[in-house]
Homo-oligomer: A and B are copies of this chain.
Amino acid sequence: MSRERLVVIGGDAAGMSAAAQARRRRAVGDLQIVALERGRYTSYSACGIPYWIAGDVSAMDHLIARSPEEFGRADIDVRTGHEAIGVDTGAGEVTVRGPSGEQRVGYDQLMIATGARPIRPDLPGINTDGVYGVQTLSDGEAVQQALAAGPKRAVVVGAGYIGLELAEALVRRGLQVTVVEAAEQPMSTVDPDIGARIADVVRGIGIDLRLGEPVKAIEGEDRVRAVVTTGGTVPADMVVLGLGVAPETALAAAAGIACGASNGVATKATMESVSHHRVWSAGDCVESHHRVSHRGVNIALGTHANKQGRIAGTNIGGGYATFPGVVGTAVTKICELEIARTGLSSREATGIGLQIVTVSVDSTTRAGYFPGAQPITTKIIAERGTGRLLGAQIVGREGAAKRIDVLATALWNDMTVGELQNVDLSYAPPFAPTWDPVLIAARKAADAVGG
């Protein structure tokens, strides 16, 4: 019997989901599994870091789903502090740098789950002490340590999801916070009108949100002292980078493994590389099929990483599973404002040549007369003429955002707004008005697409 070896590069959601699923299907006598993780932690929730910094989550341990020791007990050999620095697909070997030097590890199956790297602009002073990212638990530890020293003023660079989540966390930790953003709106994944609502609540908790102000430099000698933007100089005791992430595919690209237009590793629906047999990829480093735009996209999100990793692991384990793509669903909560989106934004839709109509409906999360009814604004983007649902965005208070899932499921099934307006959604006064906000928006969109 010749035992196969699976080498997993990257010990977070995608890699370890693949490892766990492959192990479930193939016993240790049949498949050896080695997971290489350059950091110290496995399977953690990077998306939970802002809440740990804010204090909602009391300890870092809570963000770790499964430790290296736990994987060890499942016969998965996790090697933390080991970084893959080269892949030789011809020889089937990975070059690994670990505490005791470099070695080469052979593989029969290779899982590339190298994740994403935070975007770090090439600015003067970017490497000054006191500039932090928040991509890994170690990054989070560094921020916590910085906060322990009692800084007064923080500047967050970037007003996307991560930037705003962090800005709120820092306000709650007592800092005076400025967010600087190059674009004219926060959270460019939503339409400008929805972005304006977000700007209002962000400013409402005292954050100095500066839009249309690209950063030019970070000033300081020993430590950060200020951030210089096109609009002026903002004093800062610490700077947090929240500019989003890019797929970490340097290793794959250097090995000749094909990447797509989004720079993510290009795979088939099975998550096997389009260019290399028995090489798999999943998670933040991979390219996904967008079911609405039919483009390749790279979306860094734990839920995709888990699904894709599991699918790769099923296939490595001798089963058969495919990843059907994404529709671009995302959700967050900033200062009690729930924000969600799915599908294409207006700009994305027109950007690929679609003729659109948009409607926006203000309603309530419960029957208007029911205690605790909260405001909810539902925006729908549909194709003019055909009525095809293209995207949706929701902002509101408690109970608003998760309604995006109905719209995501409708998009998934290529529904038109005319079809969507009559779907049998649940109704009772504590849960919805007689017409759920989603249905009202669909109805108004159905009226608009023909006109």
Contact = CB atoms under 8 A, between A and B. Distances in A.
Contacts of A415: 413
Interface stretch (A55-63, A82-90, A350-358): A55-63
Contact of A409 (B13, B56, B423): B423
Copies of this chain in its oligomeric complex: 2
B340 A426 contact: yes
Nearest to A411: B424
Interface of A: 13, 45, 47-48, 51, 56-57, 62-63, 65, 291, 301-304, 306-307, 323-333, 338, 340, 342, 367, 369-371, 399, 401-406, 408-410, 412-413, 415, 419, 422-432, 434-436, 438-439
Contacts of A48: 367, 369-370, 429
A347 to B, nearest CB: 20
Contact of A412 (B302, B424, B435, B438): B424
A435 B303 contact: yes
Contacts of A45: 367, 369, 429, 434
A401 B51 contact: no
A431 B430 CA distance: 19
Contact of A405 (B291, B370, B405): B405
Contacts of A325: 424
A324 B416 CA distance: 13
A426 B342 contact: yes
A331 to B, nearest CB: 4
A338 B431 CA distance: 10
A189 B13 CA distance: 39
Nearest to A443: B310
